[in-house]
Every structure is written in C-alpha cells, then in structure tokens.
Structure 1
Amino acid sequence: MRMSVQVIQYIMGWIDDNLHQPLHIEDIVRRTGYSRRHVQRLFLQQTGVSLGRYIRERRLLLATCELRDSALPVGDIVHKYGYNSLQSFYRTFTRRHQLPPCVWRRTLAGAEPAGLPAAPLSPPGKGGGERR
C-alpha cells in the first residue's frame, strides 16, 4: 500500500475517533509529520473532497444517523458530535435536509439521510461512498 493512502486512512480513522470534540486541521496535520499544504493536497487528491469538508460531512452524517436511530435529544447529539452550538447544527442540518432536525426526525424517521453518502468516504479503490 502506498504511503499516501496509509496517511489518508490514518487521518480518516483519527477524525472518526475524535468527531466528538472540536477538530482543527492543525491538530490533524501535526499527527502526520507533513506540512499543512501537503496533507490538504494529498487528502483532496485521494478522496475528492477537502479535509475541512470531509470533517463537516462526517460529523453531519453521524449526527443525522444518530438523530434517525436514537431517541437522544437534539442537544445531546449536537454535543456528542462536537458542534459549537445548537444554532450551528440547526443551520447546517436545515440547509442539507430542508427541515429542522426535530421536524425531520418526526416526519422522516427510518428513511436514509438525503444527500449523504451511504458509506464512509474512503480513498479511491477501497470501497466506500461516492465523493462529493
């Protein structure tokens, strides 16, 4: 396996393990030993999305699935997935789903989250969802 693929897989795993807290690109870059520019270029090249967008998409996907599959209050889900505020989550969620989270949960419970990849993003050739 090429070193760049290993680095990207490491980054993706680290992101998933740490989505419950605020993530900063500098924290991720520091763990790789490469420059910020190199990591961002490599990530985009391997996944088709920017590092920042990947973090936002993963966070929203997991929060949406949690909203669909659990009875946790929205505020708990917001906290669990590291959103800065309830308002920030509502804005992001509503932009994606055209409904606020509470309304979406009541009307679309059990449906697949619209517009989100069915599988986690992964490097090309390793399975996973479509890149956006």
Structure 2
Amino acid sequence: MRIDDRTEQLVRDTLHWVVKRDADGFDAALKSFPDQATREAALTLVVAVCGFVLMDLHGARPTPQQVAVLAEEIGRMESWASVSADEVAAFMNAVVGGRSLTEDLAPEDVVVLGFVVAGSLLSARPLPEGEWWFNYLDRVEAAIEAAG
C-alpha cells in the first residue's frame, strides 16, 4: 500500500488528538480532510494500522476472545469519544477478519472508530524508553508500505 504524504500528515494530526483524548481537537481534525478521496485514503490507512498493530500485539491474528478483552479496555479508556466496547469489538473483528466494516457498524461510526481504535492501540502499546506512539507508527507505516 502506497501512503500519500498529505493523507499521512492529516491522519497523524487526527491521531494526535485521539492520543490527547481531546474531543474538540479530534472533531476539528476530522473536518480538516479536504475531499472524499482523502477521507477514504485516511480510513484505509487507519484500518491497515489497526490490523497491523492488533496482529503485532498478539503475535498472530487475535481470537474473538482476545479482541473482546482489548475492546473492553479501549471502550473504558476512550469513553471521551463515546465509543462502546461492543462497537470497538465489532470494528476490530471486522478488521482482523477482513470483513466489511459496515456489516455491523453504521458508516458514520466507522471513521470515528477507526481513528479512536488506531490511536488507542498506538498509544497504549508498551514501548522502549524514549519512544513515542508516533515512532511506532513510523515502523507500522513502513511495514504496511513494504507489504504492498
């Protein structure tokens, strides 16, 4: 997957507000995407990030039970974004299962869930001393691009 520089920066800016748990900044960042093509590219990227990090966290494709445990944690940590554990689980199960994201979720919820789950996964992952979520995101994006 080729990651467009402009889209990548908008995604990073939006993830910043998720990591900060700032609802107003997050809402403003979501509105900053200039067109439908950029919004679709951004969603494709955050879904790829979610899938990669989920598999990286578990060393393989997580089971529905592992997803449920993680979804409970994300639902609790990201209550500021009004996402439920059930929605988070449905989103993550669709991502790791390669299913349509709108099969069990409303299209307008998919974008919010994509960014909230990606930001939460990136920021909650234990990292070596002196490393930040965006350093991990650099490695995730490099792996996504290398995978094609």
Give TM-score scaled by structure 1 length.
0.40
Q: Which has the higher helix share?
A: 2
Greater Rg over alpha carbons, structure:
1
Name which structure has the greater RCO, CA cutoff 8 Å, separation 6+: 2
Give TM-score scaled by structure 2 length.
0.37
